[in-house]
Structure formats: C-alpha cells, structure tokens
Amino acid sequence: MGGFGSGRRGGRFCTDDLRPLDVRKINRDGLLTPGRRFNWQWTCNDEVTGTISLRVETGRVLLNYRSQNTSFNGGEWETMNYPVSLDWTDCGFGGQRVWWRCPAVGCGRRVAVLYGGRVFACRECHRLAYRSQREAFDDRATRRADKLRDRLGWEPGILNGTGWKPKGMHWRTFERLHRKHDANVETALAGMAAKLGILTGQLKDFDF
C-alpha cells in the first residue's frame, strides 16, 4: 500500500478505536490542492499502525487503502477505493472552513472528522452501523439457541431455562448441544442487555 508521497502523521491509533481522518489537519498542512497525492498514517508509540493513500481532486479526495474483513473467518484483505466530497463554508472573517461530506450511503453529513473503519464515515454512521450489526449478531445467536432447543426438545424461547436430556440421546451429544445452546444464549443475552444500555463495550466484532 502507499508508495507515493510522504507519510503524514495523522494521529494515535493504539486500540480498537476508529481511525480519525481530520480534514482540517490535512488542510492546515497545505495538502488540499488538486493533484496532490500523499499518505496519511496513524501511529502508536512511534510505530505505524495504519496508512491510507489520498489523492486530491477538485472538490473531492480519493481514498485508497486495504482493509481486513475481520467479521468473517479468514480475514481477507480487500482494496478500498472511493471519493469523499469536500465542502467549504464561510467562517466570518473572510476565511473558509473545509468539511468532509460523509460518504456513507444516504448520509452526506458535513463533518470535520471521518472515522475508519472498513469505510471512513461520520461518527453517527458508525454508531448506526454498529447497532444494526450487533442486533443482527444477537438475532443470529437467538435463532441458533432456539434451533438447539428444538433438537433438545426444550420449550422454545431462550428465557425459559434449560431442560432435561431427551430420551434416546447420547449423553455426549446432549452435553455438546447443551454447551452450544448456553454459549448462544449468553451472546444473545449480552446483546439484549447492551441494547437496554446495561452493558457497553462488550462485543468488539464491529465492522462498518
């Protein structure tokens, strides 16, 4: 990735936080000139933890980077390449302020900072994506648990507790299904609790 322009230090990126991309910083460095190409980097303790390539065009910036899809097995890398529109507003004393237009579908909010993510988007879009992905995740766990309950001959509904071993089922099979059931119930309940605001920051399988 990269290979042209000089590396610019963008900010710290040590944890599972989203990488911030601040258009004001880029502008302050005098980089928002059509035709400019440069890399933007995130560092943690002086080690580069992420790099993207940017190319400035009139009224927009093309982002280019590789993203690892961690929400599925294998974690395949994919190349991301898309434009983000710029917007300028007057700020009173004859100066102008520059903004990103959030590139997420149906958004277009005017923001100073985009966050990546598989996709760079405004904070609000990430929040919504996080919530809907998490709900889908919980729903899957609930459905799986219910299927296992069916195989075990237990009353439907994960809140109904566990039941006995069905007649004729091997103990090992029973224990295996029981364990699977419990794991899925735990996931589903954690999701429900989080939705109700009881727990936060438990699941990190977030990908935009």
Q: What residue ranges bind Zn ion (CB under 5 A)?
A: 102, 104, 107, 109, 121-122, 125
Nearer to Zn ion by C-beta: 127 or 195?
Answer: 127
Q: Which residues contact 144 (CB under 8 A, 6 or more apart)?
A: 180, 184
Q: How far apart are CB 165 and Zn ion at their closest, in Å?
A: 51
**Residue 104: in which H helix or E strand, if any?**
none
Nearer residue to Zn ion within complex by CB, 111 or 152: 111
Nearer to Zn ion (CB atom), residue 10 or residue 117: 117
- Evaluate whether 208 touches 124 at the Cβ level (below 8 Å): no
- Which residue lies nearer to Zn ion by CB, 109 or 165? 109
Structure tokens at 184: 């899925």
User: Which residue number, 65 or 208, has a Cβ lying nearer to Zn ion?
Assistant: 208
Report, in Å, the least distance between residue 117 CB and Zn ion: 11
Q: Is the peptide bond before 117 cis (omega within 30 degrees of 0)?
A: yes
202 with 186: CB under 8 angstroms?
Answer: no
Tell me how far, at minimum, the Cβ of 167 lies from Zn ion, in Å: 55
Closest CA to 162 of 141, 183, 143: 183
Secondary structure of 143-184 as H, E, C letters: HHHHHHHHHHCCCCCHHHCCCCCCCCCCHHHHHHHHHHHHHH
Query: CA–CA distance from 153 to each of 74, 139, 168 (Å)?
Result: 35, 21, 12
| Smallest separation, CB 123 to Zn ion (Å) | 8
Which one, 86 or 125, has the nearer CB to Zn ion? 125
